[in-house]
Amino acid sequence: MSQLSTTTSNSDEALNVPPENRPRHIAVIMDGNGRWALKRNQPRIAGHRAGAKAVRDIIIECANLKIEALTLYSFSMENWKRPADEVGALMNLYLEYLVKERQELIQHNVRFVQLGQREGLPESVLKEMDQTTQATSQCTGLTLCVALNYSSRAEITVAVRKIAEQVKSGQLDIKDIEEQTISNNLYTAGIPDPDLLVRTAGEMRISNYLLWQISYAEIYVTDVYWPDFRVENLHQAIQEYARRNRRFGGLDQTDS
């Protein structure tokens, strides 16, 4: 048995949730990096750097567990309001990650996708992002969606404009616009909607994240700051998901 398949077996055993009861798509709001650093009297970027290490472990574990998609809320369009030195340090961290982890993604059969607007991102980040996208395009395991320069309202606005252009050009009849039409024009087209939304650091907000896609997602909030989020915490979230009864607005046999 190869090292990769052995690791997968170990992950399955530790999780103890059958594959059919696992979420197909997990979305994460990675919160608490700054607070993690401040509690340790360190600069905020130290928290982001520690958070990047957590990202690596969670990606690999999701790949081992055969999760179809993992979406990480990395940098919102609103985050440009942060101090320039913090934003610059974050962009440098993205560059470092994209270069350093590219082969690791390929090794674990992970396909990389960016969700968000390209406009405004540094050319250096765009270049490495495109190289990672291309290098992993043939990977057939986990789809890693990194929400970078992302806003859900902006995403929906772009989708509406695209649909309007299709109607205007005669490619689409207005009466044929359905929910799937909108889904097909979002950044996540072709990727199943999240089944599980995880938010760290105890915050009880959605924060303009995948508003269309998470309509029926189970929400799991933990007080753990993202840099402290470990594989065991991921397992706890999946185990909690597996215990829930997902009715999608209907009734089950226990409802009167």
- Amino acid identity at 152: S
Amino acid, res. 118 = R
| pLDDT over 70 percentage in the chain | 94
Whole-angstrom distance, CA of residue 151 vs CA of residue 32? 19
Of the residues 12, 79, 109, 228, which is catalytic? 79
Q: Answer left, alpha or beta for residue 118, where phi above 0 means left and psi between -120 and 50 means alpha.
A: alpha
Tally of helices (H runs) and strands (E runs) in the chain: 9, 6
Q: Which of 16, 21, 31, 185 is catalytic?
A: 31
Is residue 31 part of the annotated active site? The answer reads yes
Residue 176 annotated among the catalytic residues of the structure: no
Query: 101-135 in b/e burial notation, b at 16+ Cβ within 10 A?
Result: bbeebbebebbbbbbbbeeebeeebeebbeebeeb
Render pLDDT for 149-204 as a digit per residue (tens, 0 to 9).
999 999 999 999 999 999 999 999 999 999 999 999 999 999 999 999 999 999 99
Cα dist from 125 to 99, 119, 120, 129, 149, whole Å: 10, 11, 10, 6, 11
List pLDDT tens digits, range 40-52: 999 999 999 999 9
| Long-range residue pairs from 106-109, CB within 8 A, at least 24 positions apart, any chain | 106/135, 106/136, 106/139, 107/4, 108/4, 108/59, 108/60, 108/63, 108/64, 108/141, 108/142, 109/63, 109/139, 109/140, 109/141, 109/142
| pLDDT at residue 246 in the model | 76
Q: Write down the pLDDT at residue 7.
A: 74
The answer to whether domain 3-151+193-243 has CATH 3.40.1180.10 is: yes
Cα–Cα distance, 155 to 49 (Å, whole number): 27
Q: Name residue 167's amino acid.
A: V
pLDDT of residue 152: 98
Supply the pLDDT for residue 115.
98
Helices (H), 200-246: 231-243
**Can you list the residues of the chain whose pLDDT is less than 70?**
1-6, 248-256
For residue 117, give the 3-state DSSP assignment.
Answer: coil
State both tokens at 187.
């950044």
* Amino acid found at 241: Y
Rounded to whole angstroms, how far apart are CA atoms 234 and 198? Answer: 9
The pLDDT tens digits for 150-162 are 999 999 999 999 9
Which residue ranges make up each domain of the chain?
3-151+193-243
- The pLDDT value recorded for residue 9 is 78
pLDDT at 254: 60
pTM score: 0.93
Instruction: DSSP letter for 40, please.
Output: T
